[in-house]
Amino acid sequence: MASSNRLASWQILNTLVPYGLLWWLALELLQRSPWLLLPVIALQVLFLARCFSLMHDCGHHSLFRNRRANRWCGFLLGVVSGIPQLPWSRGHEYHHRHNGDWEKYQGPSALVSTEAFARLNPSQQRQYGWLRHPLMLFPGGFFYLVIKPRLALLLGLAALLPYTIRSLQESPDRSFQEILASHHSRHWYSPEEFHDLLFNNLAVLALWTAMGATVGAAAFWTIYTPVMTCGAAIFICIFFVQHNFPGSYAHTTEGWNAMAGALEGTSDLELPAVLNWFSADIGCHAIHHLCAAIPNYRLRACNQRNADRLQGVKRLKLSDIPGCFNYILWDPSLGRLTTMASQRSRANQVGAAGA
């Protein structure tokens, strides 16, 4: 659990500096040799995924020893990643506290129970499956990083402004901070989260404007769109398969066990060494759920040192990833995730037995 400011600073430098240089190279190639742009964009995607992974560590206050350093670097990485770090990190903490309790946390894909799925008509069931198809990672990724944070601020402000006007009419002496603290929004859960959402959006929009003015809007968006789309698709995919896999623990709130959620509700993802670097070793996921205070640069050593305690953890290879996307239903009776095909087969058997 020992954080190192030296290691953390080096990680920030060896991520943001190459990422910036790749942006310069991509813009140069776009003008001179567009056919060489694809491998550069692929590298940008990987560095963006690493930015997000380091932001994740900042949210757990594990990257640096100092909370303020984690906060400021987390905000910076959130601007690079296009997402407000504080609201995201607090939502992620909720996931850690309730992993495996599928009544309280249904994952990024908002999975439903087998009972709820059975109540859908055939068209709704097909739509449910299509929306959770792996190819949806790409439009979903663009929405997640580029659109959703901007939309959250606009929708939140649309509710906050009339509330502020009503509050001032009732009590003209109230400060904005008092009004903000008393306002309940589904887009932020504290004044601090509102401020992070607001300043992240201002910084991201300023970055977009500055880049558009400097290199041209068309050139900027030609590179920015695939980088953000594919970067988000990668880390949403990694998060998904580390919690949705054959035999994944998926319990009701009653009887839910936190240790089972950490050991049976998470998987370890075995990646090539280069991808471990770009993902900041988040493939060592069970040990991370057991202790989120371990910084990424200590995860692999902790994972190896505690291998005897982690023998029951599901281990996935890259070839296992496509199959994990079939596990998009949770069966409360079994306390496990299941597939649509298994659910339909089970329903057919019940129907045949009833006939």
What is the SS3 string spanning the chain?
CCCCHHHHHHHHHHHHHHHHHHHHHHHHHHHHCHHHHHHHHHHHHHHHHHHHHHHHHHHCCCCCCCHHHHHHHHHHHHHHHCCCHHHHHHHHHHHHHHCCECCCCCCCCCCEEHHHHHCCCHHHHHHHHHHCCHHHHHHHHHHHHHHHHHHHHHHHHHHHHHHHHHHHHHCCCCCHHHHHHHCCCCCCCCHHHHHHHHHHHHHHHHHHHHHHHHHCHHHHHHHHHHHHHHHHHHHHHHHHHCCCCCCCECECCCCCCHHHHHHCCCEEECCCHHHHHHCCCCCCHHHHHHCCCCCHHHHHHHHHHCHHHHCCCEEECHHHHHHHCCCCEEECCCCEEECHHHHHHHHHHHHHHHC
pLDDT for position 135:
95
pLDDT tens profile 22-39: 999 999 999 889 889 999
pTM across the whole model: 0.93
Contact at 8 Å (CB) between 242 and 269? Answer: yes
Q: What is the pLDDT of residues 38-92, one digit of tens each?
A: 999 999 999 999 999 999 999 999 999 999 999 999 999 999 999 999 999 999 9
Confidence of residue 2 (pLDDT cuts 50, 70, 90): very high
Q: Cβ(229)–Cβ(141) under 8 Å?
A: yes
Write the pLDDT tens digit of every residue in 136-159.
999 999 999 999 999 999 999 999
Whether 350 shows a pLDDT value over 90: the answer reads no
Asked whether the predicted pLDDT for residue 234 surpasses 90, the reply is: yes
What confidence category does residue 352 fall into, taking pLDDT thresholds of 50, 70 and 90? low
Evaluate whether 128 touches 120 at the Cβ level (below 8 Å).
Answer: yes
Question: Residue 355 above 60 pLDDT?
Answer: no
| Whether the Cβ atoms of residue 196 and residue 75 lie closer than 8 Å to each other | yes
Kindly state the average pLDDT of the residues 123-127.
Answer: 95
What's the CA gap between 315 and 317, in Å, rounded?
7
